[in-house]
Chain A
Amino acid sequence: MSENAMGSTMVEEQFAGGDRARALARDFAAHRRKSGALPVAWLERTMRSVGLEVYTQSFSRKLPFPDETHERYMVSGTNVYGILRAPRAASTESLVLTVPCGSDSTNSQAVGLLLALAAHFRGQIYWAKDIIFLVTEHDLLGTEAWLEAYHDVNVTGMQSSPLQGRAGAIQAAVALELSSDMVTSLDVAVEGLNGQLPNLDLLNLFQTFCQKGGLLCTLQGKLQPQDWTSLDGPLQGLQMLLLMVLRQASGRPHGSHGLFLRYRVEALTLRGINSFRQYKYDLVAVGKALEGMFRKLNHLLERLHQSFFLYLLPALSRFVSIGLYMPAAGFLLLVLGLKALELWMQLHEAGVGLEPGGSPGPSVPLPPAQGVGLASLVAPLLISQAMGLALYVLPVLGQHVAAQHFPVAEAEAVVLTLLAIYAAGLALPHNTHRVVSTQAPDRGWMVLKLVALIYLALQLGCIVLTNFSLGFLLAATMVPTAALAKPHGSRTLYAVLLVLTSPAATLFGSLFLWRELQEAPLSLAEGWQLFLAALAQGVLEHHTYGALLFPLLSLGLYPCWLLFWNVLFWK
């Protein structure tokens, strides 16, 4: 652990409220069943009785189109949170323990544990930071509403009442998901919105307390590889690394902690897993681990900043730092740069060769790209960008029109429009040439490819810097074919290759790889269903949480890919 303030685990955990937590969880579940929604009044009463300052926040949000996976469209709910005020502190810093309650994940045991922990924490005098106990309704939507109101911003069009109680700058947050009285292991999720990761120290803190309490911890739902000397361990590590890369590349918040990361609040999600293993832990063990973590976080003098923010995890106790993995992406992008340089040289030579007489001597010819290229470039560039814009705007905008004229639901309409526009883009190059009149066809495609290569290299370079996994996945698939594409040779082979490495095909392939690594392989039909659901989720998450994957693909990479498609079918 790099953070000095959290150096040792010399904390004596005293939490012993297992029975209380179970009783509260039962009460909560009963009230929830009775009211059918979050039992706000009961939560308020219980939080007040354990000595917290209690506030509620109501919010409502109309999703851009019905969410079929979570079965919601017009959402309104109430968040309940109680603040434990640290004695003798001016409410400038706080920690958050949050439990997202959704329709499908009840998390009643987590709420029980949260309340029992609150009662225990309230009796202690050593707190230097306020602690916010937050129960959100409609899982991530509630968290998003609360976070936006807390920071007084509105980025996703959420309507919510302003917060009455605040507790300064949030230093760290832990999200808890528990749905059983006993757990066999705790799974930790770190990947947040747009592939953001919490500081590595927070993960190390969790791991230290797991070790101290003898808890079984998993990452990506998998046990830690034990034996690193034989081939088996590194292979398992690779598997987990790939899983993490895929999850990070998806840019989804994997747990409600993912939304905190946007506000520079270090956060992670702990999930209690109850499987068929023999040895089980009760809520006291989990509570003790949480107590230890919070007491350590309470010691923090500065925000967590000492350790890595950019890393990949092949195991809970090992990480690959940015210095190691970045060169790989760098070399991949170098291919594009070299190819562009080669094209530039070729164009240059062609320019020299074309000049009549080829006057020898130092007369430098004009840069040929300017002479021929620009006029013929404008049309394909504009058209492919317009396709991207249509892909971004039309599905959500035209869902009602589509639903009226075709027998489909709105969510299906969005996905199908998306696919239709995407496929329509493939027909473009056959038509663009009617607009463009080219004198030198050979140089035309070279200039276009040159521009496309630089465009792709710039985009991938930016993505790799912000979300390495996504950038690397896209680079690994798109770069080889992009470098090879040319309107000569066996066009069908190139065309098949190019289609197979288009962003949508990459997404499709990633889904299969993902399920394969999780040891739950997909059939093709299931895969297709999952693919459609993923598309819908991607669009939804962009609109509800501000995930950037959808605009990135539709406005940036898809038009760029269309340019290569244009190159391939250049006449």
Chain B
Amino acid sequence: MAAAMPLALFVLLLPGPGGWCLAEPQRDSLREELVITPLPSGDVAATFQFRTRWDSELQREGVSHYRLFPKALGQLIAKYSLRELHLSFTQGFWRTRYWGPPFLQAPSGAELWVWFQDTVTDVDKSWKELSNVLSGIFCASLNFIDSTNTVTPTASFKPLGLANDTDHYFLRYAVLPREVVCTENLTPWKKLLPCSSKAGLSVLLKADRLFHTSYHSQAVHIRPVCRNARCTSISWELRQTLSVVFDAFITGQGKKDWSLFRMFSRTLTEPCPLASESRVYVDITNYNQDNETLEVNPAPTTTYQDVILGTRKTYAVYDLLDTAMIHNSRNLNIQLKWKRPPENGYIHYQPAQDRLQPHLLEMLIQLPANSVTKVSIQFERALLKWTEYTPDPNHGFYVSPSVLSALVPSMVAAKPVDWEESPLFNSLFPVSDGSNYFVRLYTEPLLVNLPTPDFSMPYNVICLTCTVVAVCYGSFYNLLTRTFHIEEPRTGGLAKRLANFIRRIRGVPPL
């Protein structure tokens, strides 16, 4: 024991990167990036992405050592045989009309969708356990996910990563529109980052500024990706994303200028030493076009041009790391063809069962150009059982936001991108070819008022009945359970006792 202790200490004191590099090649890498986009409305959006990639098959190999990949999530993948996991927490609503299309869409509240491996036998049980574990990891009410708000969509949600088959039996999707996102969700999310919030881009993640915004969305995406160009083996990718929109009208008094410090009350000082790539992109497309007298300070090292969401964009790039340290290019061009969607008019409807499962309506429709399409659903309001009302029944009940997934024809043909090389903000959704781009939109959750009984009166009735019952029950119980004895009045005193004593001696019954 005494010998082992110094040895253990010695191992711990070894400098991290150097020590392990010698032993074996690094099998995991971290890329971090921040995209700052001035929005058409004058607000500023900031999108953080942290990608941890691990060339290891978590499920097959008995992994015990974790370096960059968070152990909590790695164990989760192995234990529940996950193939993909997408979890997002959002406060606010992305106003597409005013802010343009987002890089990452998420519905208001919490959203979780998971693809399980086809080896899982009882998907519902794993799903239930998984949501409970995630609830603990992220300090969120994901444990409220049950069969009544879980659906299995058949058309809208495809695996984003490597997948051989798409049997929708292994997909589960749930939304909790009421979930409120706050610092207690941000802190565990930050702890999953290799540099936590000590260095690199993550120093900007200061809770008091992030929660002073119009929109806040944080997400975790886990998926398998190809390890090399031939795709002989798989790697695991963990993406942690965070998008915020700062209200320029309030912070900047209507001016368009912004700075990192004004937004985050922090500046970037050093890159995360564990990161293999650390960049800041600033969208300067409009600056060039509008010929405005705006300048980006300091001048960017390089610029990056690409077709993002159907339009050509120019980004100023700031590389936080020395360029020499960028690892060798891997030249992996992922080609992932989706199955051809069924013909027009595909409608999948799964009716609800009361208190068991929700309605699921999926429609595949081709929209004519420049048209308004309205999908309306009629519903009846019904009384719930009295125990099913929430503590604030008059607030209303939430209907989860609906999802719109579309492949939108791009206005500018994008050149085939080098997937592994391109910035993270452009590579979450797999692109089949350059002429389309994928968009997923969510609507606002709907607040519906159900008929609510006046709970104050039942409350009074309950109080009154309880009192009456307590009084009646008490006295009845007394009456029923007591045994009554007739007590002889002790009259006579000494004389009687004396008489009885004499009678007892004589063998005669006492008086």
Contacts and interface: CB of A to CB of B under 8 A. Distances in A.
- Consensus secondary structure, chain B interface: loop
B394 A91 contact: no
Interface string B223-240: 000000000000000000
Contact of A302 (B92, B97, B212, B392): B392
A90 B215 CA distance: 9
A107 B81 CA distance: 66
B447 A92 contact: yes
A90 B445 contact: yes
B91 interface: yes
Contact of B247 (A87, A90, A264, A305): A87
14 contacts: A85-B214, A87-B247, A89-B91, A90-B108, A90-B109, A91-B444, A93-B447, A123-B250, A152-B376, A164-B97, A168-B447, A169-B448, A169-B449, A303-B395
Q: Which 5 residue pairs of A and B lie closest in terms of their CB atoms, listed nearest first? A: A90-B108, A302-B394, A87-B214, A92-B447, A88-B92
B213 A88 contact: yes
Contacts, number: 75
Nearest to A304: B394
A92 B444 contact: yes
A297 to B, nearest CB: 14
Interface string B360-396: 0000000000001010100000000000000011111
Interface centre among A53, A89, A122, A264, by most B CB within 10 Å? A89
Contacts of A53: 95, 97-98
A158 B398 CA distance: 30
Given A88-B91, A90-B93, A123-B250, A302 B213 contact: no
Contact of A51 (B216, B249, B392, B447): B249
A162 interface: yes
Interface of A: 51, 53, 85, 87-93, 122-123, 125, 152, 162, 164-166, 168-169, 264, 301-303, 305
A305 B447 CA distance: 16
Contacts of B212: 125
Given A162-B372, A303-B396, A90 B250 contact: no
B216 A88 contact: yes
Contacts of B271: none
B95 to A, nearest CB: 7
B177 interface: yes
Contacts of B452: 305
Nearest to A124: B250
Given A88-B211, A90-B445, A125-B212, A302 B372 contact: no
A303 B448 CA distance: 11
Contacts of B216: 88
A162 B374 CA distance: 10
Nearest to A300: B395
A123 B250 CA distance: 5
B446 A168 contact: yes
A88 B394 contact: no
Contacts of B447: 92-93, 168-169
Contact of B449 (A87, A89, A162, A264): A264
A88 B444 contact: no
A92 B95 CA distance: 13
A90 B395 contact: no
A303 B446 contact: no
A419 to B, nearest CB: 42
A302 B395 contact: yes
A53 B247 CA distance: 14
Interface centre among B211, B396, B448, by most A CB within 10 Å? B396
A155 to B, nearest CB: 16
Nearest to A89: B92
A125 B214 CA distance: 9
A125 B254 CA distance: 15
Nearest to B401: A90
Given A122-B250, A301-B395, 9 more contacts: A51-B254, A88-B211, A90-B108, A90-B445, A92-B108, A92-B444, A93-B447, A168-B444, A302-B394
Nearest to A90: B108
Interface centre among A88, A91, A164, A168, by most B CB within 10 Å? A88
A420 B90 CA distance: 65
A91 B93 contact: yes
Contact of A303 (B215, B372, B449): B449
Interface in B439-477: 444-449, 452
Nearest to B376: A152
Contacts of B394: 302-303, 305
Interface string B77-109: 000000000000011110101100000000011
Contacts of B376: 152
Contacts of B93: 85, 89-91
Given A125-B212, A169-B449, A90 B396 contact: no
Interface string B316-340: 0000000000000000000000000
Contacts of B215: 87-88
A152 B376 CA distance: 10
A123 B449 CA distance: 31
A411 to B, nearest CB: 37
Contact of A87 (B213, B374, B395): B213
Contact of B92 (A87, A93, A264, A305): A87
Contacts of A91: 93, 444
A168 B444 CA distance: 8
A19 to B, nearest CB: 19
A14 to B, nearest CB: 14
